[in-house]
Structures are given as structure tokens and as C-alpha cells.
Structure 1
Amino acid sequence: MAQTAKDIYIVGLRNAHAMEVQARELMERQSERTDDYPDVKLMLTKHLTETKDQLARLERCLTACGEDSSSLKDTAQSLVANVTALFHSAADDEILKNTFANNAFENFEIAAYKSLITLAEAAGCNGDTQLLKMSLAEEQKMADWVDANVEKVTSAYLRRATL
């Protein structure tokens, strides 16, 4: 059965919504455990607010298409996020594992939003592109921050671990 560009776009929106649910859960867990790294905690808290806005934007896009998010995908990604956070919390170098994972995840989100923008245009959902570009810009800003702070976070961890 052939799919239309809009069908593919809707699947992409649902996948992105689940991705942002996963991001929200990860940041909620991480921000609970980063008191020793105030810069990280501040950025996680700020980006958590952005992530909630991104979820709302994706929901607007889905509603404009006459669709909803996928409860199954959202629940599965929420579970993945919480299990990941649980495993990272058991490690002495939790902050490093989170930093590496966040670096990868932010770039994953960037790719997803670039793809969604292309799909929205192909599906004729040009009204959605501005919303998606807002989310893309937020993800790029966070990815840049994480990347620029790997060494700083590593040094802070090293100081704490070798006291």
C-alpha cells in the first residue's frame, strides 16, 4: 500500500512526540541528581521547559493534521528514558554518562526536526514548518552548549571524584 507524504509526516510527528517524551523524562531524572553541577542543572531545567513547549508544538502539528500522538510510542519512550536514567544513576561517573548521552540525544533530535521540516513541506503542511524550526533552533542551542561543556563537566567530575 502506497503512503502519501502526509502519512509519512504524521508518523514522523508521532515519533518526534515520543522522542520528546523520552527527552522530558530523561531531563526530569537528570535534573533531580545534578545539584553538584549547577551549570548543568540550570541548562537542564531551561531545556526541560523548552522540551515541554516542543511537545505542545508537535501536538499542534498533529491536531492540524487531524491526528493525535501515539500513546504506545510515548509510553515506550518514557519507559526507555527512566530505565536509562536508572542505569546511569548506579554509576559513579553518572554525570559523564549523562553528558555523553545528552550530546548524542540532542544531535538525534536535530536530525529528527530537520527531517520533519522536509516532510512537512512535502506534505503541504507549510504552516507547521515555523513551529518545527523553533524546536530545531532550541535543540541546536542545547547541543552546542552540551558540546562546549564536555571538558568543563569532565573537569568538575574529576575534581569531585579525586577529593
Structure 2
Amino acid sequence: MSERTLQDVFVTYLRDAHALERLIDTALGALIRTTDAPELRIPLEHHRSMTREHLNALTDRLHAHEARPSAVKDTGLALAAFGEGLLAKARRDHAGKNARDAYVLIHLAIAGYEMLGHLADRMHDDTTARLIRHHLDEERATAATIDAQWDVLLDLSLRHAGVPTAPAMAGDGVR
């Protein structure tokens, strides 16, 4: 077995980030299609636009390292997102569960970008490191937008289920 270099691992992490963004793009499409609540749909639409910009930027960084996205990884995660889309159509609690799923996907991207950003720093690839910090800021901003909407999303989910909205918890609720 041949020894892998730091550059090989770096390209693998770039490909992983690209594939994850492809998953998020596809999954967000399904979540947007099944979300009527503008409180969630609008931030998801905005995030999908950012995700597409992230994909283009990651492709550029791969090309800068004389590499291409992994068709196998991109296709595999796109199939997983297709399954998410079928699940989103089948369930009834769209607002809450769609928010939950988007939140999880965003945090997967954050974790992947953290690893990639630290590796870019070790590789002294300042261009990629700056790009990843920018992506992290955008991912965290969308997560914060969802964080600020949990009570609204819960009310929408309860209403959709035919349950009268329960009174809000005293104080900040569950934290």
C-alpha cells in the first residue's frame, strides 16, 4: 500500500466537503418543496443559494489543487438526499421536522468545514482557509436563524397536526 501525502488527504477533505454540499443542495430542494411556512422556507431558499455558491467555490479550490469533485461521493450523497426528499413528502409535520433536518445538515457542513479549515491552515493554503471561514460564517448564520424560530416552528407543527397551540414556557423554554 502506498503512503498517502498531506496533499492527498487535503484533496479528499475538499471532495468530502463538495459531496456534502451536493447532499445539502438536493435535500434543501426537497425540504423547500414540502415547506409551506415562509418562516422556514425563505431561510432555506437563501441557504440553498449559498450552498450553490459553496459548490462552485469548492470546485474552484479542487481545480487549484489539480483535482476534481468525486463523482462517486457526489452521486452517493445525492441518492441519500433523494431518500430525504421522499421522507419529507411522506411525513405530516413538515415545518418542525424539515427545520430539524436542515439544522442537522447545516451542522454536518459546519463539522466538515472545521476539519477542512484546520487542514487548510496546516497546508498553508490561505485561499482555502479564508474561503472555509467564510463558508463557516454563512452556515452558522443559517443555523442561528433556525435557532431563533424553534417556538414558531413548533406552533406551526402543532397547528398542522390539529393540536391547539400550547402556551409558551415561562422564561426561555427548554435550554
The match for 1:48 is 48
Q: C-alpha separation between the residues in 2 aligned to 1:5 and 1:94?
A: 43
Q: Detail structure 1 runs of 4+ shifted over 3 Å in the superposition.
A: none
Compared CA separation, residues 16 and 109, structure 1 to 2 (3 A): same
SS of equivalent to 1:152 = helix
CA contact (8 A) 1:6 1:120 kept: no
Q: Identical aligned pairs, as a percentage?
A: 28
Write the distance in 1 (CA, Å) between the matches of 2:143 and 2:53.
17
Cα distance between partner residues in 2 of 1:115 and 1:65: 18
Whether contact under 8 Å (1:13, 1:58) holds in the other structure is yes
Which protein has the bigger helix share?
A: 1
Question: Normalising by the residue count of structure 1, what TM-score does the alignment of the two structures yield?
Answer: 0.93
Larger-gyration structure (1/2)? 2
State TM-score, norm by structure 2: 0.87
SS in 2 for 1:28: helix
Whether contact under 8 Å (1:47, 1:142) holds in the other structure is: yes
Query: Separation in 2 of the partners of 1:100 and 1:160?
Result: 16
State whether residues 28 and 102 of structure 2, in contact with CA within 8 Å, keep that contact through their aligned partners in structure 1: no
SS for the counterpart of 2:32 is: helix
Matched residue type, 1:159: R
Gaps of 5+ in 1: none
Deviation at 1:161, TM superposition (A): 2.3
Report the counterpart of residue 29 of structure 2 in structure 1. Answer: 28
**In 2, distance between residues paired with 1:31 and 1:160?**
17
Letter in 1 for 2:75: T
The question of 1:91 aligning with 2:129 is answered no
How many pairs does the alignment contain? 162
**1:55, distance to aligned residue in structure 2 (A):** 0.4
Q: Which residue of 1 aligns with 2:131?
A: 131
Instruction: State how 1:60-99 maps to structure 2 within 5 Å.
Output: 60-99=60-99
Q: Which runs of 5+ in 2 are unaligned?
A: 164-175
8 A contact 1:12–1:116 mirrored in 2: yes
